[in-house]
Amino acid sequence: MKGLIVIGLLAMMVVAVTGCISPVGAPIMGAIYTDVKGPGYAVDPSAGFSKVGQSEAQAIVCVATGDCSVETAAKSVGIKKINHVDIDYMSILGVYGKVTTTVYGE
């Protein structure tokens, strides 16, 4: 009986903490581990994509830092015209999470 109580409490803790660092906007999320590429978007299909820039934000135990904006990713490699954007979401047990924005352009 004690084992069931411990397992139940651990399961409740995982569910409670998972909401803390759930990747907002992720198309799907796993309670234990998430590593998905979200729906990106096209900005200017006529622009080439010879340059690729990235930006990211991370969170550990409900403290988040970073800048995963499209603007920061584009500026990191000098992109002036954006072809398209991809967004990756990663989370482990809701304790650690990361969002990476990748911008393709010229």
The tens digit of pLDDT for each residue in 27-64 reads: 677 778 888 888 778 888 888 889 999 999 999 987 88
Query: Among 89, 103, 84, 100, which Cα is nearest to 33's?
Result: 89
| Domain ranges, residue 75 | 2-105
Q: What is the pLDDT of residue 74?
A: 95
Q: What is the pLDDT of residue 13?
A: 65
pTM over 0.85: no
Q: What torsion do the CA atoms of 64, 30, 27, 36 make, to the nearest 10 degrees?
A: 80
96 and 60 Cβ atoms separated by less than 8 Å: yes
Judged by phi (left if over 0) then psi (alpha if -120 to 50, else beta), residue 46 lies in alpha
Q: What is the pLDDT of residue 22?
A: 55
Structural domain count, the chain: 1
